[in-house]
Amino acid sequence: MLSILRKARLKDKEMRILMLGLDNAGKTTIVKRVMNEDISTVSPTLGFIIKTIDFQGYKLNIWDVGGQKTIRSYWKNYFEKTDALIWVVDATDRLRVDDCRVELRGLLLEERLAGASLLVFLNKTDVAGCMTEEEIKQGLELDRIMTHRWMIVPCSAVTGSNLDKGLGWVVQDARDRLFLY
């Protein structure tokens, strides 16, 4: 059965990416920047936004879901058939690192997200005094994650820095796991 699914995915070259994180982390700004859309008017996402881009020969369906505390209980409605989870962290929000770790830990326990690649976009690294990659690695206890392949990519949604690098890793990791070549 798994080989049939893999062959179907190989033919379509399509991936479903779920982008989550606490509110104000920059998820929508990242999506808009990747889509070459205007980022000067971004408002909080109160539900979800789906955008599809062609990237390195793959069709990436990116599900950007709001991160407000009142919305997080609905995240489970978006887990089905997720190939990669992009967890966006605000590198300037030191006060909510614990909340960020707890939410991520809960997600990684979800059976429907088992096996999904995990990209941690450390956003807003263009802001002076932001947290480092090592601080986030420790704060989120990423070294303790044994259930998912993961990567941290420092980035800036405003400048676009490293967004392609992160998406490139997601595509490569999913390709290594899901596709037959």
125 marked among binding-site residues: yes
24 marked among binding-site residues: yes
Kindly write down the DSSP assignment for every residue of 73-125, as one continuous string. GGGGGG-TT-SEEEEEEETT-GGGHHHHHHHHHHHHT-GGGTT-EEEEEEE-T
27 marked among binding-site residues: yes
138 is catalytic: no
123 marked among binding-site residues: yes
> Which has the closest alpha carbon to 84: 62, 65, 106?
62
66 marked among binding-site residues: no
124 marked among binding-site residues: yes
162 marked among binding-site residues: no
132 marked among binding-site residues: no
22 marked among binding-site residues: yes
- 137 burial via Cβ count (<10 Å: 0-12, 13-18, 19+): middle
Q: CB pairs under 8 A, 24+ apart, for 75-80? A: 75/20, 75/107, 76/110, 76/112, 78/18, 78/48, 79/18, 79/110, 79/112, 79/113, 80/112
Run of H or E residues at 42 = none
21 marked among binding-site residues: yes
The answer to whether 154 and 91 have CB atoms below 8 angstroms apart is yes
Active-site choice (56, 68, 138, 172)? 68
Residues of each annotated binding site for GTP: 21-28, 67, 123-126
Q: Give catalytic residue positions.
A: 68
Residues of each annotated binding site for Mg(2+): 28, 45
Residues of each annotated binding site: 21-28, 45, 67, 123-126
